[in-house]
Amino acid sequence: MSEWRNRRAGALMHISSLPGRYGTGDLGESAASFARILSNAGISAWQMLPLVPTSGVFSHSPYSSESAFAGNIMYISPDKLAESGLVSAAELEKFTASGKTDFDLAQRSKHEILKICYKNFRQDEAYKTKFREMSDKFWDFCAAEAYWLEDYALFSTLKEIEGLAWNKWRTEYRTRDWNALDSLKRTDEISRALDERRFEQFLFFSQLEELRGLCRESNIILIGDLPIYVAYDSADVWGRQDLFELDADGNPTSVAGVPPDYFSRTGQRWGNPIYKWDRMRGDGYQWWMERFRHALRQADLVRIDHFRGLLQYWDIPASEPTAENGCWKPGPGEDLFNAMRRRFSDSEGRLPFIAEDLGVRTDDVARAMEDFGIPGMKVLQFAFGDGMPDNPYIPHNHRRNCVVYAGTHDNNTAAGWWMEDATDNERKNFKKYMAISEPNPEAAADAMLRATLSSTADLAVITIQDILRLGAEARMNTPSTVKGNWLWRLEDFDSLEDGMKRIASLNELFGRSHPTRNNGAGEDGLP
């Protein structure tokens, strides 16, 4: 889509943070209302976090999931299900909750609601008449998404039966003995459970596609998020054990992470299994092509988390308790990017991806991004330390083909950064650069937003927390911590009104309000 090259503003807001009645935000009317609010303010891009299933085991982090493909049923809108006739308003009354985020409650409620929907859907007469069109679309979905859907449905069903990580399952399930699995799938109970899992995913992706259509009508592009690694205890690893570095019992032989650095004396041991890149190369990276295809059915642009890992990755022996004794190994690099270009590039060979290239940016990363037209990220909270005026994150050093943020979901809010995280030197440089004397937190947040939107970067993304001038209490995630994350939620849309008026004015001032206008973007424009 060539309009990506036009100058535009975006908002970072996860679905879970929307207002709603069922424990978390969802894909229903609040999402539609939010899209309209963005459009009215001249914001024409909506960036979300991964929409995959989450678990209380990992504090519902969207970056740890039992599937890289499946959708999170917590984000299915019960009200939209009622509109389609799958459940009645009376049946939904007992499931409403307070406006605070409660993932566990939302998960339990949605499971019960979806069971009611499936039962109603499968009633003979309704199935043949009332839901005839829906049934046809359901089976089309199952056929189109079978590549990942069948493994996910079976994996999630077996997890309920076994109650353990897949490497602890009975041997015939762990090793995917199809004599045993086919026999199990033919039983009435399991056959029904598998059908329910498929139906849940159909409902999720149907609602997401409806939201995406509404956003298209409002000229809003969606930006997705794709973690480079997948969780070990996932349908992805269990279903394709041949694609990961595992031993004969299915245990990882090496895991992912990053080496020791200024921030961590022992590095970070993430624990995700390492890909068998040679094996993947042999079939043209089919698994990755399916993953990218699936991601681009959900969004117009996709951010690739830890982009560097596709060029070179830190390989840690699984027996090591820390990341210290890992080593760098070459990733697929140009070979994978060429395969991506053949499948997903525009007419000028540019790819619809954003590289998360924060931290150490090596020459091979910079070269790949340049060669394949992939924009990187600039985070203003990193701009005001040592190295000014040559700091690559400072606005006057931005280029057009990048995405600028005041802060991301992993940063404090702008006001929180000013109050809690910024060093004395950063505050000094910030005041000098912004030409302000002694800003309070709200003024600091406003200055950061103004600098973000005035950047030469084609795409500028701001968080709703910063529009609202909220402090550290509204932070979405603190890396390397497991409690208190992902919980921030907007109570209602009324509080956004004044903030969006300011943003609309800035978007007009800095030429971000007219994304369909040809702004003369040349070879440096966003892909």
Q: Write the pLDDT tens digit of every residue in 224-239.
A: 999 999 999 999 999 9
Q: Are 26 and 203 in contact (CB under 8 A)?
A: no
Q: What is the dihedral of CA 200, 204, 207, 211, to 10 degrees?
A: 180
pLDDT at 6: 80
Q: 394 vs 46, 303, 381, 389, CA distance in Å?
A: 24, 21, 9, 7
* 356 counts as catalytic: yes
Collect all residues with Cβ–Cβ distance below 8 Å to 262 and sequence separation of at least 6. none
Q: Are 35 and 248 in contact (CB under 8 A)?
A: no
Count H helices and E strands in the chain, helices first: 20, 12
Collect all residues with Cβ–Cβ distance below 8 Å to 372 and sequence separation of at least 6. 337, 340, 341, 345, 349, 350, 351
Q: Are 445 and 501 in contact (CB under 8 A)?
A: no
- State the pairing for strand pair 312-317/254-258: antiparallel
The predicted-structure confidence for 135-159, as pLDDT tens digits, reads as follows 999 999 999 999 999 999 999 999 9
User: How sure is the predictor about 3, in pLDDT bands with cuts at 50, 70 and 90?
Assistant: low
pLDDT-above-70 percentage for the chain: 96
Average pLDDT of the chain, as a whole number: 93
pLDDT at 107: 94
pLDDT at 205: 98
* Structure tokens given for 382: 């990193």
* 497 counts as catalytic: no
Please tell me which residue in 305, 426, 458, 466 is annotated as part of the active site. 305
Strand partners, 459: 8, 403
Q: 361 vs 80, 163, 353, 496, CA distance in Å?
A: 44, 42, 17, 36
Burial class of 143 by CB neighbour count within 10 A (0 to 12, 13 to 18, 19+): exposed
Which of 307, 298, 351 is CA-nearest to residue 332? 307
Can you tell me which residue has the tokens 């049934």? Answer: 135
Could you write out the DSSP letters of every residue in 36-93? Answer: HHHHHTTEEEEE----S---GGGTT-TTS-S-SS---GGGS-HHHHHHTTSS-HHHHG
User: How sure is the predictor about 523, in pLDDT bands with cuts at 50, 70 and 90?
Assistant: very low
pLDDT at 10: 98
Averaged pLDDT for residues 11-19: 97
* Structure tokens given for 52: 């995959």
Averaged pLDDT for residues 107-117: 96
* Structure tokens given for 47: 């960036």
Output the CA torsion sign for 478, 484, 486, 491: negative
Q: Which stretch of DSSP H or E encloses residue 174? A: helix 171-174
Averaged pLDDT for residues 20-44: 96
Q: Which stretch of DSSP H or E encloses residue 148? A: helix 146-162
* 410 counts as catalytic: yes
pLDDT at 2: 45
What is the phi/psi pair of residue 445, to 5°? -65, -45
Buried b / exposed e across 47-74, counting CB within 10 Å, b at 16+?
bbbbbbbbbeebbbbbbbbbbbbbbbbb
Q: Which long-range contacts (CB under 8 A, 24 or more apart) does 477-484 make?
A: 477/61, 477/409, 477/410, 478/410, 479/410, 480/264, 480/268, 482/58, 482/59, 483/59
The predicted-structure confidence for 281-327, as pLDDT tens digits, reads as follows 999 999 999 999 999 999 999 999 999 999 999 999 999 999 999 99
Give yes or no for residue 518 having a pLDDT over 50: no
Give yes or no for residue 516 having a pLDDT over 60: no
Which of 303, 320, 313 is CA-nearest to residue 257? 313
Q: Are 217 and 246 in contact (CB under 8 A)?
A: no
Q: Which long-range contacts (CB under 8 A, 24 or more apart) does 365-369 make?
A: 365/307, 365/308, 365/311, 368/310, 368/311, 368/333, 368/334, 368/337, 369/307
Amino acid in position 320: E
User: How sure is the predictor about 527, in pLDDT bands with cuts at 50, 70 and 90?
Assistant: very low
pLDDT at 526: 44
Amino acid in position 298: Q
pLDDT-above-90 percentage for the chain: 87
DSSP state of 274: P
Which of 524, 512, 400 is CA-nearest to residue 462? 512
Q: 317 vs 167, 203, 321, 325, CA distance in Å?
A: 18, 41, 9, 8
* Structure tokens given for 289: 């092509």
Give yes or no for residue 8 having a pLDDT over 50: yes
Give yes or no for residue 97 having a pLDDT over 90: no
Please tell me which residue in 91, 172, 410, 421 is annotated as part of the active site. 410
Averaged pLDDT for residues 491-513: 94
Q: Where are the alpha helices (DSSP H) in 302-374?
A: 334-344, 363-371
User: How sure is the predictor about 514, in pLDDT bands with cuts at 50, 70 and 90?
Assistant: low
The answer to whether the predicted template modeling score (pTM) of the entire model surpasses 0.75 is: yes
Please tell me which residue in 145, 200, 233, 356 is annotated as part of the active site. 356
The predicted-structure confidence for 426-444, as pLDDT tens digits, reads as follows 999 999 999 999 889 999 9
Q: 466 vs 63, 308, 340, 437, 460, CA distance in Å?
A: 23, 28, 35, 20, 13
User: How sure is the predictor about 127, in pLDDT bands with cuts at 50, 70 and 90?
Assistant: low
Buried b / exposed e across 192-231, counting CB within 10 Å, b at 16+?
ebbbbbbbbbbbbbbbbebbbeebeeeebbbbbbbbbbbb
